[in-house]
Amino acid sequence: MADKSKRKKCLRVKIISMGNAECGKSCIIKRYCERRFVSKYLPTVGIDYGVTKVHVKDKELKVNIFDMAGHPYFFEVRNEFYKDAQAALLVYDACDRKSFESLDLWLQEMGKQQLVDDVVVFVCANKVDMGKRVVDRLEGQLWSQGKGFSYYETSAATGEGITEVFQDLFEQLVKLSECDGKRTIPTVTPGFTKDQVDAILRLKNGRDNYEKLGVHYTASRDDINKAYRKLAVILHPDKSMAPGSEDAFKTLVNARTALLRNKE
Ligand code: GTP
Ligand code: MG
C-alpha cells in the first residue's frame, strides 16, 4: 500500500536537448548529472540516453534525458525522439553566432514531429565563461522571451546557471503536471513585437546615430524627427515590455539630439 502511494507520486518526464553540434549540450547534462566537465570534444553519436531521479517539493521525478547529436548527419535518428518530449534544452554557443542563428531551424525540426507549444523550452546561452562571446545577453533574451521561452546563461565548464536551469525546468514540469499537462502559460505570449525587437537591436548595434535611427546621412531635420517619433511610439518604456527597451529609448533620445545638433 505504501509502495503504491509512493509510485503514484512519481512523475515520469522526458527531456530532450537540441542545438548545433559542439555547442555544449552533452557537457551541460554531464555537469548537472555528474558534476564534472570534460574539455575534450566527444561528439554524441545519434542519441545518448540517461535517467535520473530528483525531488521537487513532495514529488519524485523520474527524468528521462535524451541528449541529441547536433550534427545534421543524425537528422533521422533525432526525428524518432522528439515525440512526447515535455521539455527541451535548446542550447547555443554564445561564442558562435551560427549556433544562435540556427535556433529557429531547431524549432522547425522539432515542430515536424511534436507540437512546439506542448514543450516547455529552456534556452541556454552556453560557454559564457569563454570571454569571447559574440551573441550578447540582450539578443538571447529578446529571441527567447519573444517566443515565451525561459532564457539562461550557462557554462558547463564553471557550472554557472546549470543548477538553476534544471531546477526551473523541473519546477515547471511539476506545475504542468498539477494542471493535467496543460500549459498555464499561454502558448504565444511574446509580450512584444518584432518591430520592437528590431528597433532595440538596431539602436544597440547601429554603428552611428544615423544607422541607429535608420535614416540616411542626407536626412533633413524633418526626416530625423519623423524617424524619432516612429521609434519613440513603439519603444516608450510605458508601452514596450521587451528587455532593453529603456536603454534603447535613452539611446534614441540621445541619437536624435546629436543628429539635430549636426544639422543646425
Ligand atoms: P554534439 O554531441 O556533437 O551535438 O555536441 P554537444 O553540443 O553535445 O557538445 P559537447 O557537450 O560535446 O561540447 C563540445 C565542446 O565544447 C567540448 O570540447 C566541450 O568541452 C566544450 N564545452 C561545452 N560546454 C562548454 C562551456 O560551457 N565552456 C567551455 N569553455 N567549453 C565548453
Ligand atoms: Mg553531445
How do residues 65-86 score in pLDDT, each as one tens digit? 999 999 999 999 999 999 999 9
Coil, strand or helix: which one is 85? coil
Coil, strand or helix: which one is 101? helix
The pLDDT tens digits of the residues spanning 3-43 come to: 554 445 688 999 999 999 999 999 999 999 999 999 999 99
pLDDT over threshold 80, residue 103: yes
More confident residue, 177 or 49: 49
Mean predicted lDDT score pLDDT of the chain: 90
Pocket of ligand 1 (CB under 6 A): 19, 21-27, 38-44, 69-71, 126-127, 129-130, 155-157
Cβ proximity of 20 and 98 under 8 Å: yes
Q: Which atom of ligand 1 is nearest to the CA of 69?
A: 4
23 and 106 in a single domain? The answer is yes
Task: State the ligand closest to the CA atom of 158.
Answer: 1
25 and 153 in a single domain? The answer is yes
206 and 160 in a single domain? The answer is no
The pTM for the full model equals: 0.84
Q: Do the domain assignments include residue 184?
A: no
Cβ proximity of 139 and 201 under 8 Å: yes
pLDDT over threshold 90, residue 155: yes
Q: Which domain holds residue 162?
A: 11-178
pLDDT over threshold 90, residue 122: yes
How many folded domains does the chain comprise?
2
In the prediction, which pLDDT does 189 show? 52
CA dihedral 26, 63, 118, 85 (to 10 degrees): 60
- The residue contributing the CA closest to ligand 1 atom 2 is 44
pLDDT > 90 in the chain, percent: 77
Cβ proximity of 259 and 253 under 8 Å: no
Domain end point (choices 178, 205, 228): 178
Domain end point (choices 121, 150, 178): 178
The pLDDT tens digits of the residues spanning 171-227 come to: 999 988 887 655 544 444 567 888 888 899 999 999 999 999 999 999 999 999 999
Domain harbouring 247, CATH code: 1.10.287.110
In the prediction, which pLDDT does 236 show? 85
- Nearest-CA neighbor of 27 among 158, 169, 171? 158
